[in-house]
Structures are given as structure tokens and as C-alpha cells.
Amino acid sequence: MPNYEYLDEFAGLPVVVAPDTDQRENFWWLVEERARVDKPDPTLDDYEEAYQTARADPGAFAWRLQLPAYGGEAIFRDLFLRFVDEVDTTKVTALIAGYWDFGESSAHEPVGLLVEHADRFPALRALFLGEMVQQECEISWIQQCDVAPLLAAFPRLEELWVRGGNGLEFPATRHEALRRLVVQTGGLPGVLASDLPALEHLELWFGVEGYGCTTEFDDLAPLFEGEVFPNLRSLGLCNAEWGDDLVRALADAPVMERVRALDLSSNALGPDGGEVLASAPVFRGLDSLTMDYHFVPEPVLERIRQALSGVALDLSEPEEYFVDENGEPAYYPGLTE
């Protein structure tokens, strides 16, 4: 799941942490988090050495700005201003705005700071707004805001990731350079109404109605019909309650004439959807199909493997369904809250 652990790499670059004013506390949080997911346990010296190494070559790293999740009195503005003061941000190409605060605080502050200091980041090409792991903040709790000012302030931005849907606004806008857009949330505010002529990769995570999903299946019609994003080649439709319906729609969707990489991870996708994947000719033209987390039984998976023998497949993490109160099999997305 996308919020179980931090990214080690972003926009093709290794991630380095910009420490806050109480940097030892922040580093301790990172050490504990990496240990929780069974990664090598770094020391405080490891983080401090990595920071100093990255300062010497800022463009070779993706920089994560985040506060410690527990304790501490640092505020995001202080962290940001210290980063701009200590690092040659004119060379920074990739930036992650991580945990900024819990509760009522929203992305207004990091967005406002980035817009205000946009001239300090002339080389910025990739931005992740809201990379928070589950132990910091559930996706449905993250307080987002209008991201249109970011796109306006960074007209050369090529990659934008957004996590969290509360308060998220993505009004219809035009951006000439954006090539990759990832929205890990339950809503679909304005994305499909935007004019993004360079967009090659679109990845949408939908979630469940009880935790903020505002997207209905019919909202995706312009995407299926191929009416938007003429350069789209890679499509991720993930973490939906209606996974089987997604596959049925894609089997006859004009957009699939140009999509070569399809990601259906974490959907409530069962044997019916699996049979469509195995039988519909359109999926045989893919270069890759990712179905990480699903409810497709092994016999159907084998039919998919045989039918899509020329496609690079990731059919990992098959799940067991449970039986509801009516005795019917029930499937659920991988990420709910």
C-alpha cells in the first residue's frame, strides 16, 4: 500500500531528509519507522552524513521536508526556511512535502511557501505533496488544499504526486509540461476536466465511500472514451470498490488504444474481472499489467498468464475474500481508511 512506508526513491533520485531544527528527534522518528518495515536500521550519524553529502550536490537527490510525527515544537515554515537557507535550492529538481502537522493544519502552508519562494526552485521538476505514512496520518485524514497555485507557480513541473483528499481541489487547469500525475485519494476534483497535453502517466486511487471517496464510476467516462490526455500511455486505476466494473469498461474503452502500461493495484477485483482480463483482446496489446493485491483465484490467474503471454505481468498479493451477512463473497480495496 502506498502509505505503509516512505519512498526510498522519487523521480529517479534517492531520497534524503532535510532535518528540522530539532533534527535528532526527527531522525529518531525515521530510524524507528525504517525498523518497523524491516529495513536496515540506520544510525543518526547515517542520516546526518547523508544530509551533508546531499548539500554538496543538491540536484542528485530528492529532498523530503517533514516534521517529527510525535513530540517536538518545530513548525513546517521554520523547517522550509532553514532548508532554503542551507541548501542551494536552485539545483533541486525533486521535492517531497511530508508530514507538516496533525489535525486541522492543511497543505495551505507548504503550498503557500512553495508558491512564495518559487523563484528559489527554478530547476524543480517533480513534487510530492503529502507523503505521510500510516503511523503519521491515515490518507483519509490528510488535509489538502487547492493545488492549482502550485501548477501556476511551476510551469515547468513534469511530475506531481498528491496524497490525501480532505479539502483537495484540482480545478480545471492547463499545464503544458506535466507528464506524470498521481492522486492517491478518494475524490476526483477537476482532474479529468484539466488540459494536460503532455501527460503520459495518470494514476488515480479512489478509496471507499465511508472514507472520503467522492468519485462515481460514471465520472470516468471522459477518460474511458479517450477524450482527455492525448499522450497518455500509462494508466493506473487503483484502490476502487468497483474493480470488476473498471475492467469491463476498459475492455471496450477507446483509451486503451494508446495505453501500454496498465496498473489495477489494490482494487476489489474478483474472478469476474479476472475472466475479462483473460478473454478481452485489448489487454493482449499491453506491454505491462500490474495487479498487486486482488481477489482473482489461481485458475483464473493461470488463464490470464496464458492469454497475456507477451505481457509483463505482476499478479502478486492474491487475497482471500470474506463472506458477508447474506452469504455472498465480499471484496474490498487494499486501502480504505
Question: At residue 47, does pLDDT exceed 90?
Answer: no
The 10s digit of each residue's pLDDT in 171-222 is 899 999 999 999 998 666 678 999 999 999 999 998 777 666 677 788 899 9
More confident residue, 255 or 328: 255
Report the C-alpha gap between 264 and 275 in whole angstroms: 14
* CA angle, 249 then 214 then 101, to 5°: 130
pLDDT at 57 (0 to 100):
96
Closest CA to 267 of 218, 211, 209, 336: 336
Q: Are 335 and 239 in contact (CB under 8 A)?
A: yes
pLDDT at 12 (0 to 100):
97
pLDDT at 283 (0 to 100):
98
Q: How confident is the model at residue 119 (pLDDT cuts 50, 70, 90)?
A: very high
Q: Are 201 and 180 in contact (CB under 8 A)?
A: yes
* Lowest pLDDT segment from 43-52, 92-101, 124-133: 43-52
Domain 169-337 CATH assignment equals 3.40.50.2300: no
- Whole-structure pTM value: 0.91
Question: Residue 304 belongs to what H/E stretch?
Answer: helix 298-307
The 10s digit of each residue's pLDDT in 219-268 is 899 999 999 999 999 999 999 999 999 999 999 999 999 999 999 999 99
Per-residue DSSP letter, 255: G
Question: At residue 329, does pLDDT exceed 50?
Answer: yes
Distances (CA, A) of 66 to 58, 82, 260: 17, 12, 35
* Lowest pLDDT segment from 42-51, 129-138, 168-177: 42-51
Domain extent listing, the chain: 1-159, 169-337
Taking each helix axis as running N to C, give the angle between helix 76-86 and helix 108-116, from 0 to 180 degrees, rounded to the nearest 10: 30
Question: At residue 37, does pLDDT exceed 50?
Answer: no
The 10s digit of each residue's pLDDT in 80-89 is 999 999 999 9
Residues 54-86 as b or e (16 or more Cβ within 10 Å = b): beeebeebbbbbbbbbeeeebebeebbebbbee
